[in-house]
Structures are given as C-alpha cells and as structure tokens.
Amino acid sequence: MKKLLFILLTTFLSSGIYAQGNNLQFSQAILVESTSQTVPSGKVWKVVSVQRNTSANYNSSITINGTFIYVGGGYQDGVTQNQKVSNLGNTFPIWLPAGTTIKAGTGVEFLSVLEFNIVQ
C-alpha cells in the first residue's frame, strides 16, 4: 500500500512540473515611454522597473490596458526642501501577456521592460 501511494504521489507531482508547456527565450530590452505600446503576439513582457521623473511633485503611475496603477510618488522634504521619492506601491516585476497595452504615466520617464519569446 505504501509503494502504491508513493508511486501515485510521485507521478502526480512530476506531471505538474511540465503543466505549463512553454519556455521563455529572451528577445530584447525595451524602454516604454509615454506612447502606448502593445505586447506583440507570441511574446510576454516583464516590467522590471520604472524611472521616475525626479523633478515631479506628484504621484507616479503607469497605465496598463487603460487602468492607472500607482507606482510611488514624490514629496518634498519639509526640512531641507529637497525632493524625495517614496518606494510605496512598487510591485515589480509585472508580467504582461500578448495584447496588453502599457505606457508611462504621470511622473514616470520610462519603464524598463524585458521581452521574451514564447517557445513551445
């Protein structure tokens, strides 16, 4: 009985390893600015970071499929009057499937994106 349970458990767990069936192959690095870009068919994008506009005194956002997403913000130090940038709201990386649109929003200079080919 223990052997049968062990064999069934091993078979079940090993079958889940290849369940996705896709491999990713690095294609290129992309900078996405304020113009909307779409993830091409057969590709996925990994948004790894944003470069904030350090002269901005407002919250930073990006737009994915028309939805604004907060990615941090700037504030002015009350003592030294120097601009500071908060890291609140960072949720990177963000994986985007084919057909997704993205652009840099308020307070963001550009997004750093890695593009991958889906290899079957």
Q: Which residue ranges make up each domain of the chain?
A: 21-119
What pLDDT does 15 receive?
47
- Split at pLDDT 50, 70, 90, the class of 40 is very high
Mean pLDDT is lowest, of 5-14, 72-81, 97-106, for: 5-14
Name the H helices within the chain: 2-15
74 forms bridges with which residues in the sheet? Answer: 85
What pLDDT does 79 receive?
53
Determine the Cα–Cα distance for residues 21 and 108; give it in Å rounded to an integer.
Answer: 36
Q: What is the mean pLDDT of residues 102-118?
A: 93
pLDDT at 75 over 60: no
Does residue 23 or residue 72 have the better pLDDT?
Answer: 23
What is the layout of strands, in order, in the sheet containing 67-76?
Answer: 37-38, 101-104, 59-64, 67-76, 83-85
Burial grade of 28 (CB within 10 A; 0-12, 13-18, 19 or more): exposed
* Through-space distance between the first and last CA atoms of the chain, rounded to whole angstroms: 38
Q: Which CATH class is domain 21-119?
A: mainly beta
